[in-house]
Every structure is written in structure tokens, then in C-alpha cells.
Amino acid sequence: MLPKIILHNSISLDGSLTNFEVNMGLHYQIAGKYNADARLIGSNTIKVGIELFGGDVPPEEKKDFEKPERSGNLPYWVIPDTKGILKGLLHTCRRFEYCKGIIVLISEETPEEYVRHLKERDYDYHVVGKRHIDLKKSLELLSEKYSVSTILADTGRILGNLLLNHGFVSEISLLVHPVIVGNKSYNIFSNVNKNIKLKLRKKETLEKKYLWLVYAFEN
């Protein structure tokens, strides 16, 4: 059985994922309410986040070559990274105290140098596709090997839209910010290739100006 996937994003009033200041505290507060077994985050999303909020990347230390020992109640971070763009950056994710462990999804065409990088640092990694990630195979792997039943997809447009196009998403959670981005908008759903009917499950006003909307899929 495939895990349940909740697509969780912070957006502007006109549906942009970028070019506005996200209330990260509220964003992650909502994410924590789902108690997901895993967080699915795109490698580009992580790289941009590090560049925007992380400052200078700290050098690796000896401890970064070992898996951390943390509570089993914490979620895994599952990161598709077929091109190895997080080489030299992954340790910043591993250090995050609310992450149980990192699982990297790669393909047969992932650079061997990156595969060695993962091996040397004892990351869990899995080849789940020839050139691109096979999403269904990846979800089956997470369910069978890691007992993942619920995934929070806190990711960008590309991966989020792929999940929607393949019909893998069960619920959409949106934290709507009171700002209009306008002609710089990077629309959250612009690569969805079909009409998707939804029903509103939750509508909640937060801090008197943010709107949390939760939609489920109609059968």
C-alpha cells in the first residue's frame, strides 16, 4: 500500500511559491500537526533554502560522516537528487535536530562521484529509476523498507506537480499569505496537466491575516 501524501506549501494570495517572505514559523507549525513519518523535499528546494536562509555553509566535521542517533518519532527527510546538486550541502540537513535521518533517491545515471560521496558518509540512498526518479517505486520502497505510511511533501512546484499528475496526493494544505506577487509570480500549480476536483476540509484564520486551507480529493 502506498503512503498517504499531503502536499503542504506556503503561497501568496495569487498562488506564487516565491518572491515573498514566508512565515516559516507558521509554515512548520502546520507541518508538525500532521505527524508525518517522512518529509519529501526536492533537492532544488533545499539548495535554494540554504542559499536564502542558511548563510555560509559550514565545513563538514567528523560527526557529519555518521548517522545521528535521534528519536524514532521524528520524520525521515526523503530527498530526490539524481544530479547530485546537494554534494557538500547534505550535512546541513543531517544536522537538523528534527530530522531522524536522510534518505536520498537517485537514478542509474547519477554521477558516480556523488554516489561515492553518499557511501563515504553513510547516507541511506536508493537507485529508483534509470534517468529520473520512479515515483511509484520510491513510494513503495519507503512503505516497505522504512514503514512510512504518511508523507508530507514540503517541496517546490516541479516535484509537487509531478505527484499531482500521477495521482499520488491525498490532501493539499496551503498557508495563504496576505500578499500579491503579481508579474513575478511562480505559480504553484502551473505544471498540473489535468483538472482536479477538490473539497474543502478546513479553513482557519491564523494570526488574524493568514489563511490555512486544507483540501481533499473528490472520489
Report whether pLDDT(141) > 90: yes
All three cell numbers of 147, joined, read: 514503514
Q: Can you give the pLDDT at residue 218?
A: 80
User: Domain residues of the chain, as ranges?
Assistant: 1-36+157-219, 38-148
Looking at the predicted structure, is the pLDDT value of residue 219 above 70? no
Q: What is the 3-state secondary structure (H, E, C) of 37-60?
A: CEEECCHHHHHHHHHHHCCCCCCC
- Looking at residues 182-192, what average pLDDT do you find? 95
pTM of structure: 0.92
Higher pLDDT, 40 or 54: 40
Q: Which residues contact 64 (CB under 8 A, 6 or more apart)?
A: 91, 94, 95, 121
Model pLDDT, residue 22? 94
User: How far does Cα 76 stand from its chain's mean position?
Assistant: 11
Q: Mean pLDDT over all residues of the chain?
A: 94
Cα distance from N-terminal residue to C-terminal residue, the chain: 18
The three-class DSSP label of residue 1 is coil
**Could you tell me the pLDDT band of residue 180, with boundaries at 50, 70 and 90?**
very high
Per-residue buried b or exposed e for 152-167, using 16+ beta carbons within 10 Å of the residue's own CB: bbbbbbebbbbbbeee
Mean pLDDT of 175-187: 97
Domain 1-36+157-219 has CATH 3.90.650.10: no
pLDDT band (50, 70, 90) for residue 54: low
pLDDT of residue 56: 81
Residue 53 has pLDDT above 90, yes or no: no
Instruction: Give the pLDDT of residue 48.
Output: 85
